[in-house]
Chain A
Amino acid sequence: MTKPAYPPEEARGLWVYLEQDQGRLEGVSLELLGKAREMADSRGMAVTGALLGDQVSALVQEAIATGADEVLVAEHPLLRLYTTDGYTKVFSQLILERKPDILLLGATANGRDLAGRVAVRVRTGLTADCTNMALEDGTGLLVGEVTGFGGGVLAYIKCPDHRPQMATVRPGVFAPPQPDASRRGKVVTVPVDLSQEDVKVQVLEHVTGQGLDITKAEVLVAAGRGCRGDFTLVNELASLLGGEMGVSRVPVDQGWASRDRMIGQTGYVTRPKLAIVCGISGAFQFTVGIEKAETIVAINLDDEAPIFEQADYCVVDDMFQVLPPLIEAIKTARGGNGGRQG
């Protein structure tokens, strides 16, 4: 067996990695704090947030309000932007010193980049992309639920002998908790031992936070290959409903739409109230990103498209024929003035 860095008996506490980018906490970190709080309460554990960055202490209060009992703050100018080497060094040292029992991270691009590296550095196991998790009765071990091929199988993964028990969760899997501004917690500033030599990665350009976040949309109108690159009607319907346009992978690969609109396994897991899915076949890599919708409408030419198995209302027709009367009917239903669009 690969030797554990520290024995399970010495491990304490449930940690959430608080991922931040340019002074903003990632939504998935807040979602994880909510889930961590729920699990910790079931066993009388404490929830610790680990916050790395430069001048990020303003985010501490948000983390405490969302469920953290304690926040470890590691600040250093070299941690301003995420780099694998800088963050791995600081975070691994923190883990080896303070010996958490469980460590949860958001499965964002950088969250996965860090998790995969840290897990090997501290020689522990990592359960990727959990769709649910719980602490096992008796042992208190973290049990991560992951989906197998096509989402048809659920597997439960544990890490019995190595610590921390690490897991990642994709954004949108857990609902964001309601913050409670009256919650109080402890802030611990930790020393950071980092020099320029430790950071070999040079960030030449960093552009994020362009504002679009399809996971927050209450209505999503999603389009795939079937739209053939023409999003006019899809956009019109989305803005009429006060929602956003989402896409399957094909429009992204074709260069018709940007990646931040992509729904699915490598895109976003969304949970809109209403999803209208047009010209998308319904491969499982897509449907994992939409299955949490309250109501799903599918419009597809092919009556055998798998998307119809996942839809509440199924329209077997050409999206270009159905969307114009649908837009008209919605306007009429709202009293003829186009509703929210004014």
Chain B
Amino acid sequence: MRALHVIVCLKVVPKPEEVTVNRETMTIERANVRSEINPADMNALELALSLKEQHQGRVTLVAMGPPLFDPYLRLALAMGADAAYLLSDRAFAGADTLATSYTLAEGIRKIGDYDLILCGEESSDGATAQVPPGIAEWLGIAQITYAHDLEVLSEARTARARRELAGGHEVIQVPLPCVASVVVGANEPRFMDMERKAWAQGEGRVTVWTAQDLGIDEEMIGLKGSPTIVSGVEQAAAVQRKREFLRGTPQEEAQALVERVRSYL
């Protein structure tokens, strides 16, 4: 059996329920907001770890982001990943999906020797689902988006997955190496391994690579490398709902409700 090298793209995102907007400056209040590994990326990591158990081999993490990502990468190391790379440089800031996928693809190229690259279906803050196809295109390899489960046929050098589609599903097979994005909730991410935890937080390494380390074209990264620009932000008009509370016994509540929605019955 051929050992498998799986690279997982992990993003650290602010917990959506803790994010607030400063109504005056129209900026996101990031202070005091706790972060987490993007939920779908946890499912990608779990899939990677179970593939590693099945096929032998190793799991490598890669993320593009600020130094605050470091402790989260260590959590993922404690769950069972073997190595972590953080692509971190001020020049990467402000990247849209074109520049983000390019940077990640260059990082992955430098890590090298991969069979499978796993992403989450989408990030809970960006929510574009574009980065995985972008990485696949920059690397010139196949992609499987919205994978619900995925198996590697290592002898045949292929991956096979069930994709979720509107009103149905499909099963597709592509040659390795490939990129796959995993739907949120596809599996139950495992807990940290307590023995690995000490290692991950101590001598376990998160290798930081800057733009220069990647030898990357500076015109194609960060704000400069991003064709899209944010031309304005605004507060969304709050939905105006009646918010009428109907009180009483369940019978009284039901009756009051029927009177109010009679036109739809």
Q: Which residues of A contact B (CB under 8 A)?
A: 1-2, 4, 26, 81, 83-85, 88, 108-110, 112-113, 115-117, 119-121, 123-129, 143, 147-162, 171, 200-213, 219, 241, 249, 252-253, 259-260, 265-266, 273-274, 283-285, 291, 295-297, 308-318, 321-322, 324-326, 328-330, 333-334, 339
Contact = CB atoms under 8 A, between A and B. Distances in A.
B235 interface: yes
Given A2-B220, A117-B143, A317-B253, A153 B170 contact: no
B130 A112 contact: yes
Given A125-B228, A204-B160, A329-B254, A334 B265 contact: yes
B142 A308 contact: no
Contacts of B232: 155-156
Interface of B: 14, 16-17, 19, 21, 26, 28, 96-99, 101-102, 121-122, 124-134, 136-138, 142-143, 145-146, 160, 163-175, 183-185, 219-220, 224-236, 239, 241-247, 250-251, 253-255, 257-258, 260-262, 264-265
Given A115-B130, A200-B175, A283-B17, A159 B233 contact: no
A308 B243 contact: yes
Contacts of A115: 130, 133
Tell me the interface secondary structure of chain A in the complex. mixed
A147 B125 CA distance: 10
Given A110-B165, A205-B171, A117 B242 contact: no
Contacts of B224: 1
B241 A152 contact: no
B136 A117 contact: yes
A152 B126 CA distance: 15
Given A1-B225, A273-B264, A326 B257 contact: yes
Given A207-B169, A295-B264, A161 B121 contact: no
Contacts of A143: 231
A147 B236 contact: yes
Contacts of B245: 308, 314-316
A155 B230 contact: yes
B264 A219 contact: yes
